[in-house]
């Protein structure tokens, strides 16, 4: 009996992390609403994008290629979520004509937003709509400073979409992003998601994980305690499976204060068709208190 009482006395020290202390994160290029996509047009798949977020109980979602009209739909389809971001073309929340956001969705019951902002991936990052180096289009990074309501932990979340044409732009965008993370995050834990349009063999990827910056970043795919689950490529190009080879171009990067419990690329399809031409990247993370 004495041994049983001793065991019960120590049980609270061994209890697992509560669901509130774990965070499900998604990076998701949802594909712009292009009528030329035919059967894969946004109107025909928007419910499946929302269902992906809801089914996997994602509390943080970095979306790419999201037009304001798509954000409006997701806001209605995702009760309890709020989004933050501005359009890449003019820095507004109501662009005319509509264009791309790299917005961040977060669950209001899990997080309080303390701050947030946007910078452009160019030589003039504070100028809205600026296009950098050999990029075909303006590109942005959206960031938020969040407080986890379950335990008060403060961290930063960055979300981006690198240019699809300019290699020089992607290399310089990675350097700028790393420098800005150092400047903005101030030693707090960091989660960084996005479509980087670069596979792990490229200089772009290597810049994201190099140790030459104040904030160290690791690829969640490689450090997950449970080995990676699902396809090894995140870009389908055709809204279909099977996967293409060597097209892992969407990532979740984290600083050392972020533990990765699980990592997956969600190879989900209905009747062979995926909800986007990219597969969502998922991670279950735990933040060390700062």
In a domain, 137, yes or no: no
In a domain, 29, yes or no: yes
Cα–Cα distances in angstroms (integers) from residue 243 to residues 29, 147, 288, in the given order: 16, 37, 35
pLDDT tens-digit readout, 29-52: 999 999 999 999 999 999 999 999
Q: Alpha-carbon distance 142 to 158, whole Å?
A: 6
Secondary element (H or E) of residue 3: helix 2-14
Contact 239, 277 (CB under 8 A): yes
Per the model's pLDDT, the better-predicted residue between 119 and 7 turns out to be 119
In a domain, 119, yes or no: no
Closest CA to 108 of 60, 172, 65, 56: 60
Residue whose entry in the numeric block shows the structure tokens 């533990």: 259
In a domain, 15, yes or no: no
pLDDT tens-digit readout, 243-271: 667 799 999 999 999 999 999 999 999 99
Look at residue 186 in the predicted model and tell me its pLDDT: 84
Look at phi and psi of residue 94 and say left if phi exceeds 0, alpha if psi is from -120 to 50, else beta.
beta
Pure H helices in 212-267: 220-223
- With H, G, I as helix, E, B as strand and everything else as coil, classify residue 283: strand
pLDDT tens-digit readout, 138-151: 999 999 999 999 99
For 72, the domain range is 20-110+192-287
Closest CA to 74 of 53, 101, 95, 102: 53
Look at residue 15 in the predicted model and tell me its pLDDT: 37
In a domain, 172, yes or no: no
In a domain, 262, yes or no: yes
In a domain, 152, yes or no: no
First to last CA, the chain: 40
Question: What's the pTM?
Answer: 0.93
Phi and psi angles of residue 32, each rounded to the nearest 5 degrees, phi first: -60, 160
Look at residue 16 in the predicted model and tell me its pLDDT: 39
> How many distinct structural domains can be found in the chain?
1
pLDDT tens-digit readout, 208-247: 999 999 999 999 999 999 999 999 999 998 999 866 677 9
The CATH code of the domain that includes 227 is: 3.60.10.10
Look at residue 284 in the predicted model and tell me its pLDDT: 98
Residue-averaged pLDDT of the chain: 93
Per the model's pLDDT, the better-predicted residue between 116 and 289 turns out to be 116
Q: What percent of the chain has pLDDT over 70?
A: 91
Angle at alpha carbon of residue 205, lines to 201 and 207, rounded to 5°? 120
Q: Alpha-carbon distance 182 to 228, whole Å?
A: 28
Structure tokens at 241: 């499976």
Structure tokens at 194: 């996005």
Strand 60-64 versus strand 250-254 pairing type:
unpaired
Strand 104-107 versus strand 111-120 pairing type:
unpaired
Look at residue 243 in the predicted model and tell me its pLDDT: 64
Contacts of 55 (CB under 8 A, 6+ apart): none
DSSP conformation class of 86: -
Average pLDDT, integer, range 156-170: 98
Per the model's pLDDT, the better-predicted residue between 186 and 103 turns out to be 103
């Amino acid at each position: 009996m004495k041994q049983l009482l001793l065991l019960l006395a120590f049980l609270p020290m061994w209890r697992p992390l509560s669901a509130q202390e774990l965070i499900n994160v998604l990076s998701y290029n949802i594909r712009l609403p292009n009528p030329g996509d035919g059967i894969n047009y946004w109107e025909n798949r928007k419910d499946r994008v929302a269902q992906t977020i809801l089914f996997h109980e994602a509390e943080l979602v970095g979306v790419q290629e999201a037009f304001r009209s798509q954000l409006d739909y997701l806001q209605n389809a995702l009760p309890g979520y709020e989004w933050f971001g501005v359009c890449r073309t003019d820095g507004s929340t109501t662009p005319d004509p509509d264009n791309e956001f790299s917005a961040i969705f977060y669950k209001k019951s899990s997080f309080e937003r303390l701050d947030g902002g946007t910078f452009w991936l160019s030589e003039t990052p504070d100028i809205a709509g600026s296009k950098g180096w050999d990029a075909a289009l303006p590109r942005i990074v959206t960031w938020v400073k969040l407080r986890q309501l379950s335990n008060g932990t403060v961290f930063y979340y960055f979300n981006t979409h690198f240019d699809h044409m300019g290699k020089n732009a992607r290399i310089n965008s990675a350097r700028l992003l790393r420098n800005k993370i150092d400047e903005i995050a101030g030693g707090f834990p960091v989660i960084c998601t996005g479509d980087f349009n670069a596979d792990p063999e490229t200089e772009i990827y290597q810049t994201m994980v190099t140790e030459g910056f104040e904030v160290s970043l690791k690829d969640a795919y490689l450090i997950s305690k449970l080995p990676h689950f699902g396809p090894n490529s995140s870009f389908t190009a055709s809204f279909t499976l099977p996967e293409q080879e060597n097209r892992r171009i969407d990532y979740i990067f984290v600083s050392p204060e972020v533990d990765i419990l699980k990592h997956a690329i969600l190879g989900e399809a209905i009747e062979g068709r995926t909800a986007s031409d990219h597969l969502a990247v998922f991670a279950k993370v735990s933040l060390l208190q700062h």
